[in-house]
Amino acid sequence: MSFPPPWNDGAAGPGHTARQPPPYRPDGPPPPPYTGPGGAPPSHPQSGPASPAVDAASFSPGPYRLARWWQRAAARVIDALAVGIPVTVVAFLIALMWAGAQWLGDNGEIERNTAIVFGIVAFTLFVAYETVCVKRWRRTLGKHLLKLEVAPVSGAGRQGPIPVASMAARAALFNLPTLAAASPTWWVLLYVLLVVPCALWPLWDRPDRQGLHDKLGGTVVVRTD
């Protein structure tokens, strides 16, 4: 397995410690490969303590280039159209069934309870869709069409294992406003505080172009074309 070489900033003298450059190259050709010590991926320069060694055989060839912002945005739009519509229909039908049960029970808060059930079901389906797709294929439908993949930030531009909990947390943060379907005020607040930063953060985040959900999950989005 090969990884980007360590480097130094030109300083010389005893006790000088070589540093590693950012593992991803947003543009241009990838760096020349080298074999890391013991076959383990190098630690990320901004990720704190080095991660435990990972079996090099679990990493696919690379390194890949980081996805551009417009590619990520287009993939999200495709997912919203292709998956959001059926998820909305299923959640709405389940909410209607719940409303029917509430009506039979003569509950005076049918509308609010129906919206709560709708939000819970839609949130669960969205998170399950993204988690399963990233776990099985490392991409959703939108990312597949845009030739993008989710990769671990510790992989230094190469694919590697991503914990299921990280995938679920990443998806949950992005879709959290759905839970507030019963309260327009809370929906708008969560959307502004979470979804907008998640979507726009890659525009200025360097060197890894991560959204807030990427930082929570320890992932980046890379191009495979």
The mean per-residue pLDDT over the stretch 104-120 comes to 73
Residue in 61, 10, 3 with CA at minimum distance from that of residue 31: 3
Please give the model's pTM, rounded to 2 decimal places. Answer: 0.65
For residue 84, what pLDDT is reported? 85
User: Exposed e or buried b for every residue in 102-119, given b needs 16+ CB within 10 A?
Assistant: beeeeeeebeebbbbbbb
For residue 112, what pLDDT is reported? 75
**DSSP class per residue in 95-126:** HHHHHHHHHHTT-TTHHHHHHHHHHHHHHHHH
- Intra-chain end-to-end CA distance of the chain, in Å: 21
> What are 147's strand-pairing partners?
none
- Flag whether pLDDT at 9 surpasses 80: no
CB 182 within 8 A of CB 112: yes
Domain range annotation of the chain: 63-83+123-223
CB 172 within 8 A of CB 127: yes
Structure confidence by residue, pLDDT tens digits, 143-199: 999 999 999 988 766 788 899 999 999 999 999 999 998 888 999 999 999 888 889
Sort 121 into a burial class: Cβ within 10 Å, 0-12 / 13-18 / 19+.
buried
Structure confidence by residue, pLDDT tens digits, 55-105: 333 444 457 788 898 999 999 999 988 888 888 888 888 877 766 656 655
DSSP tag of 3: B
Stretch among 29-33, 126-130, 182-186 having the lowest mean pLDDT: 29-33
* Sequence-distant contacts of 178-186: CB under 8 A, at least 24 apart: 178/119, 178/122, 178/123, 178/126, 179/119, 179/120, 179/123, 180/119, 181/115, 181/116, 181/118, 181/119, 181/122, 182/112, 182/115, 182/116, 182/118, 182/119
Q: Over the Cα atoms of the chain, what is R_g?
A: 21
The widest CA-to-CA distance across the chain, in whole angstroms, is 81
